[in-house]
Chain A
Amino acid sequence: MVLIKVGVAVALVAAAVRVPATSQREPLCVVRGRVEFARSVPAAEHRPSAVEPGGAVEPDVLNRRRAVVYFEAAPRGAFEDRESARVSLDQRRETFVPHVLAITAGTTVDFPNHDRTYHNVFSLSRAKRFDLGRYAAGASKSVRFDRPGIVRVFCDIHSHMNASILVFGHRFFAVTDDQGRYEIDRVPPGTYLLSAWFEGAVREQRPVAVMADTRAIELDFTVR
């Protein structure tokens, strides 16, 4: 459902927006703002089980309170400056840290295990299916993400562990910080649609027009 919504939005914006070519001489704009939460952020929960009721999951509200703000349609030329990067998604205290990762296609993600127990990172998402098998503390395995899309990551041993990796074909996105702030820089003039994504769904979309003389735009979102 969400994918369909996003797809429709992308198609509409792509059809409607006329994006001028970027140029080194044109001044570029910063789009920034804040993502507010009008509801409580759900905590990680053990799956209730009569045989293994489990202990409390360590609170990681700050880690889970991450949203991703991104451009549905990127400026022309945005796909030409891809760079191969390497980032890390840790496994600590039976939690993926960070809970949300946003990367450009072509990025390699390391999955180090910092716990004393085995973990088994896997994903069955269409954008990337992988299974790293079980590996112990101190070990790390990596995956390269080449295809844009949303990749949900889980541990096969600890059902309460989950994370999301958003893979973009461009660089016009940002993950919110501890205060819910985001900043997307070097945005060329044009009319765009910005989306705020949180926990598996686009929560709010807002259009933004960047003029040639615009230096900064403040745009806030609310997750309801």
Chain B
Amino acid sequence: MHIRSFTTAARPLLRHVARTVMFLAVALGSTRAGAQDWPDRPLTVADGRVTVGGDVTLTAGTDDPGYFNFTDYGRSALRLVRFDAVTSLRINERVSCLAELRAEGDSREGHWTAGAYAAYVRVKPWTARGFEVQAGRIPTAFGGFTRRSYGSANLLIGYPLAYQYLTSLRADAVPRTADDLVEMRGRGWYVHYPVGAEYWDHGVPATTVFRYDTGVLAKIGFAAARTEIAASLTAGTLSNPGLGDGNGAPQLAVRVAARPWPGVQVGVSGASGAFVEGSVRDVLPDHAAGRQYRQHALGADAEVSHGYWLVRTELVSADWRLPALGTPLLASPLRATSWLAEGRYKLAPGLYAAGRYDRMFFSRIPSTGGSISWDASLWRVEAGGGYSVRRNVMLKASYQYNRRDGGMVPVAHLAAAQLALWF
């Protein structure tokens, strides 16, 4: 069955790869032509007070009919086109502001959005100490991959499942029974539930890197212990961050990262926040309306590097509690667990090969048809590499094999190419 599905997919896959190569050849051609004039370091003005950096990601990839790589209903990570401009304004040695403007779309479908991805004030009360506070639209403290989500830092083109894969849960609509949830297994890209918002929309990932949250983050570093602790208090949750507070309860996230030896970094993270939005709680029956339905998450990550090798692993376990409204009841928290291992080896100056194994599975719930995982478990293998045309111009290509135990498309062979530029 898998061989047949690959054969069926082969022709369009080759056609799309050819398109991809052409797309990138044109992009690369213009890169070479203008390369001598491109900045490869941040631009500074006003005597160094204002620093402007940029990050551009152009991605083209094959069709993904199983929506394995979609970040919402209309956009795929394998066709991501993104323009980032990051400006830092140093008011004095204690206070600075940072704003990141982002325009993002799908290289085929469009669905463009633009806005402030991050915008916060950064205060360092003591210049000689490693303590700072950020307030505004901020990255959450949780997780290891959050710091590598830009095209230039991601070893491959796809994103880890925990940070991108759309589960069948929504914050603005909930299932009445376990059977409602089971019906949506493997189709997190387009979900509808009987309670809450009446329209169809995509589900949420365990934790997203495609939106930042709003709140305050405090970070303290202990140089002697090579340890950093970060804690954030934000309006949204890992799954559903945003500008506003949809349920009147904040999320607390904490991360502790340490570098016990050169080349080794380990981190643990935890987060807890109210997930289900107030608009849903407003329509719940009295016995269920009075409480918060929270998302909890735990994470652990490690990185080891030496010579030409880099190896990382990360575990994310998230659970959501939903209202128990009808039988079969959703009595227990719904858990999603994701584990990945990725590595890179530099083959030559500017050239590397990389691979990632990623698995995500879901807890079981009782349904009318018997015990079943509440969403379709899946795993992904991605292999590829990158070549740096210049220090800040990188061309990447990767192949993905995705397999899921549910949904309309259980297997997908996907390919993509990407041009990543930064300064």
Contact = CB atoms under 8 A, between A and B. Distances in A.
Given A42-B48, A53-B88, A117-B259, A47 B350 contact: no
Contact of A45 (B41, B139, B147, B308): B41
Interface string A25-54: 000000000000000101101111111110
Contacts of B44: 42-43, 45
Given A136-B263, A137-B262, A131 B349 contact: yes
Interface of A is mostly: loop
Interface residues of A, number: 35
Q: Which residue, A42, A43, A50, A160, has most C-beta atoms of chain B within 10 A?
A: A50
A95 interface: no
B98 A45 contact: no
A124 B88 contact: no
B349 A47 contact: no
A79 interface: no
Interface in A86-119: 116-118
B391 A48 contact: no
Interface in B53-90: 53, 86-88
Contacts of A162: 41
Given A40-B47, A49-B86, A52-B147, A133 B42 contact: no
A120 to B, nearest CB: 9
B37 interface: yes
B390 to A, nearest CB: 6
A161 to B, nearest CB: 11
Contacts of A82: none
Interface in B6-45: 36-37, 41-42, 44
A129 interface: yes
Q: Which residue, B36, B86, B88, B422, has most C-beta atoms of chain A within 10 A?
A: B88
B88 A48 contact: yes
A123 B349 contact: yes
Contacts of B305: 118, 134
Q: Which residue, A45, A116, A160, has most C-beta atoms of chain B within 10 A?
A: A45
Interface string A142-179: 00000000001010000010100000000000000000
Contact of A129 (B120, B306, B349): B349
16 contacts: A42-B48, A43-B48, A48-B88, A49-B86, A50-B86, A50-B212, A51-B146, A53-B96, A53-B98, A123-B349, A124-B388, A129-B350, A130-B349, A131-B348, A133-B306, A136-B262
Given A43-B48, A135-B307, 6 more contacts: A3-B36, A47-B423, A118-B262, A122-B350, A123-B349, A129-B348
Kindly list the 5 A-B residue pairs having the minimum CB-CB distance in the complex, ordered from nearest.
Answer: A50-B118, A48-B88, A133-B307, A129-B349, A131-B349
